[in-house]
Amino acid sequence: MGIIDAQGVPLALHTCSASPHEATLVEPTLASRALPELPEKLIGDKAYDSDPLDKNLLEKFGVEMIAPHKSNRKKPATQDGRKLRRYVRRWKVERFFA
């Protein structure tokens, strides 16, 4: 798993086996970052749509997770369209791994 900044520069990388879910790797990746400061917001895909993950990241690290909601979400939406406009920049992460 990797975290990059807006210019595509890697901030944190964490390797693990393929079996754990991606959402469980966010905290260890943030903990293994190269820089002392944390990003204010993280942008993830639908796999990161998790209220407990959002809460943990905000409480432990002060980081806001921006991820579109899954289509089968049972709870009310927690993100509006203004925050999700940042999601269009997620292609930089995909390009980094390609």
| Cβ partners under 8 Å of residue 27, min gap 6 | 56, 57, 60, 61
| DSSP at 56 | H
pLDDT, tens digit, for every residue of 30-63? Answer: 888 888 888 888 888 888 888 888 899 999 989 8
Long-range CB contacts (< 8 A, 24+ apart) of 43-46? 43/67, 43/86, 43/87, 43/89, 43/90, 43/93, 44/90, 45/90, 46/70
How many other C-beta atoms lie within 10 A of the C-beta of residue 66? Answer: 17
Distance from C-alpha of 90 to C-alpha of 35, rounded to nearest angstrom: 21
Quick one: average pLDDT of 83-98?
78
Give the pLDDT score at 82: 67
Quick one: average pLDDT of 69-85?
72
Give the pLDDT score at 59: 93
More confident residue, 50 or 87: 50
Give the pLDDT score at 80: 67
Both tokens assigned to 36? 């002392």
- The fraction of the chain above a pLDDT of 70, given in percent, is 95
Both tokens assigned to 18? 């393929």
